Amino acid sequence: MKQICTLGELLIDMTQNGTDELGNGRFTAYPGGAPANVAVAAARLGAETAFIGKVGNDAFGRSLTETLRKEGVDVTGLFRCEDIPTTMALVSVDERGEREFAFYRTPGADTQLTADEAISALEKLPLILHVGSLSLTTMPAREACEAAVNYAKERGALISYDPNYRAALWESEDLAIEMMKVLIPLADILKVSDEEMLMLTGTEDFEEGSRILSDQGPSLVLVTLGSQGVFARHGSFAGVVPGFRVKVADTNGAGDTFLGAMLAQIAGREHLLSDLDEEELRNMVTYANKAASLTCSRRGAIPAMPFADELK
């Protein structure tokens, strides 16, 4: 049994790294995809992780598979699509390190994961199954994601969910909100950005927004606030855990690093979430904030993620 299994997109982040002398963008092909990022982040911090997804039978697909394998992520559940290429995201970065996404995914291999493939890969049930909302944008990946969550939940695994909004992948914001809400009642751990919390609850108040989300099912709600830190809600505790300020090179993968660090710590606890108190939660979120800040200080998503020794 692996401690953590993540399911969803594994793709190439073609990320802008400055410009040439004529002002044209220079791009570098980085491995990416939020659930895959989470698996690597947790693995680098000592957790046993696995990934379920699909890539094309092409150079990018082979490269991504080898990247996960080298990072110690079990790729038994990573399938190949023979007739559809590996998905690619173009990531433009502004002077503050903030990102803008465009996707080559109509379709992309990650959208072709089937329910049968996902369930077969979950035969050895993990302690925690993590999924994201990009799997809900297109069939058959949507069916695969929902089937996997229900299968794991019914058998006692904790469900971690990131309703990760990417406007370019949805027909409309209203449809995105509707679909992003589908898995919230099944989640035990929910990570959202402040913008996503507003979309899902209609309020900018972190106390109220996190309560609305928690009332739907998740016992741990984490609202990421960039350099300000994270608003966490669990049990009787609800409050901000401060973050760390760094010189930002690229924010890509920061939220995934944070969540991977949280899941690695939760998976290492004897009772997972059940006896987690305020002091320990604050320490865990501080540790995860530190990991995310290091990722922000370097370029790329997976290449920028820290190892446990760096957080001591």
Distance CA 93, CA 248 (A): 11
Rg (CA), the chain: 18
User: What is the pLDDT, as a whole number, of residue 98?
Assistant: 67
User: Which of 214-218, 286-290, 297-301 is least confident?
Assistant: 297-301
The Cα 64–Cα 42 span in angstroms is 17
pLDDT, tens digit (0-9, with 9 covering 90-100), for 153-184: 999 999 999 999 988 889 999 999 999 999 99
Buried b (16+ CB within 10 A) or exposed e, 198-222: ebbbeeeebeebbebbbeebbbbbb
Q: Which two tokens stand for residue 245?
A: 């300020």
Which residues in 17-29 are b (16+ Cβ under 10 Å) and which e? eeeeeeeeeeeee
pTM for this entry: 0.94
Phi, psi of 32 (to 5 degrees): -160, -165
C-alpha 189/C-alpha 152 separation (Å) is 14
pLDDT at 312: 82
pLDDT at residue 30 in the model: 87
For residues 277-285, give the mean pLDDT.
Answer: 97
Looking at residue 55, what is its pLDDT?
A: 98
Could you report the per-residue pLDDT of 69-126, keeping only the tens digit for each? 999 999 999 999 999 999 998 877 666 666 677 888 889 999 999 999 999 999 999 9
Query: Do the Cβ atoms of 55 and 110 come closer than 8 Å?
Result: yes
Q: How large a percentage of the chain has pLDDT more than 90?
A: 79
CB 14 within 8 A of CB 28: yes
Tell which wins on pLDDT, 231 or 102: 231
> Where do runs of H (alpha helix) occur along 155-275?
173-180, 194-201, 206-215, 254-267
Q: List helix spans (H) across the chain.
A: 34-44, 59-70, 115-121, 141-154, 173-180, 194-201, 206-215, 254-267, 278-296
pLDDT of residue 102: 82
Strands 158-162 and 4-7 turn out to be: unpaired
Model pLDDT, residue 14: 87
- Of 180, 186, 135, which Cα lies nearest the Cα of 159? 186
Tens of pLDDT, residues 244-260:
988 888 787 899 999 99
The Cα 57–Cα 143 span in angstroms is 22
